[in-house]
Amino acid sequence: MDGENDEDGDGDGVQANDSMDDAPPPQPTGQPLSGHFMSTNDCVSCLSNNSYDPVHDTVPLGVKENIMFKVAMQKVKEGVKYWDDCGAWVKSHLMDKLTEVSLSKDGMYTIRKRVDGKTAFVPLEPQPQQVYCMYRLYSKLRRHEKYQWRIKYMEGCDFFLAEYLGDFPDIVEPHGNAKRGAEYVRSQPRVLSDIATALKSNKRVKKTYDDLKAASDNDLA
């Protein structure tokens, strides 16, 4: 009560509440990025490090700015889905700037080059002791294309890296033909898979979706 009537503005209670209201929400726990995506060598080291912490079951909820997460692969019937809560992305595409390495019949690792105007497979020098098959997916947020996303994973690895670069936008846009509403967020692949299983019974579609989505949201809370 004293704080509300303090004409000098010295009400500690009111000031403390204002500061708490203005404070930005905490970011999910991950590895900060310094204005660019991680190098290939750093990605390989992170994916290969069994002691790396934390490892998330799914991409964490909340605002993600200039940060990387190591996430366990969640395989579903349709393949691996890299779900997050950021909204609609521009269709992702593979990035093809990594070196293509082939194994020749004599057991030598080679790379494809143009030699004297023709394609040739040239042995690597020195020969590597081990070769990793790396994949990258890249996209931009549909409503703010300066906000970027990249997925990186290796063949045979049980994890992937999710990187988010830039400032997450405050603006909200309806999805598709919608005239109003909250930002579009895809349903988790696990929810869709469970729906397909549950619908084999006589349970109503809408009731099935609502029940399974609520259970999934509670798991992530």
User: What is the per-residue pLDDT across 79-94, written as a single tens digit (0 to 9) for each?
Assistant: 667 888 888 888 776 6
Reply yes or no on whether the pLDDT at 37 is more than 60. yes
Q: Among 2-6, 37-41, 194-198, which is the least confidently predicted range?
A: 2-6
- Which H or E run contains 56? strand 55-56
Task: Work out the burial of residue 75: count CB atoms within 10 Å of its CB; fewer than 13 is exposed, 13-18 middle, 19 or more buried.
Answer: exposed
| Residues 137-168: b if buried by 16+ CB within 10 A, e if exposed | bbbbbbbbeebbbbbbbbeebebbbbbbbbeb
pLDDT at 139: 93
Q: Give counts: helices (H), strands (E), the chain.
A: 4, 12
Return the minimum-mean-pLDDT range out of 126-130, 144-148, 168-172. Answer: 168-172
* Best-predicted range by mean pLDDT (52-56, 86-90, 182-186, 192-196): 52-56
Report which DSSP code applies to 191: H
Output the CA torsion sign for 214, 219, 196, 157. Answer: positive
pLDDT at 2 exceeding the cut of 50? no
The 10s digit of each residue's pLDDT in 139-152 is 999 888 999 999 99
Of 37-51, 101-115, 202-216, give the range with the top mean pLDDT: 37-51
pLDDT band at 155 (very low <50, low <70, confident <90, very high): confident
Query: Given 3-state DSSP classes, what are the helix, strand and coil percentages for the chain, each rounded to the nearest 5?
Result: 20, 25, 50
Q: Which residue, among 28, 29, 27, 37, has the nearest Cα to 163 in the 3D structure?
A: 37
Length of the chain, in residues: 221
Nearest to 11 by CA among 19, 20, 2, 24: 2
pLDDT band with cut points at 50, 70 and 90 for residue 31: very high
Average pLDDT over residues 181-196: 52
Helix (H, G, I), strand (E, B) or coil at 146: strand
The H or E element containing residue 69 is strand 67-72
**Token digits of residue 97:** 């700037």
Mean predicted confidence (pLDDT) in 63-91 = 84
- The pTM assigned to this predicted structure is 0.63
Of 18-22, 44-48, 85-89, which gets the smallest average pLDDT? 18-22
Quote the CA–CA distance of 63 and 25 in Å, as a whole number: 8
In angstroms and rounded to an integer, the radius of gyration of the C-alpha atoms of the chain is 24
In the predicted structure, residue 123 carries a pLDDT above the cut 50: yes
How many angstroms separate the CA atoms of 70 and 100, rounded? 25
| Peptide bond just before 126 cis, omega within 30 deg | yes
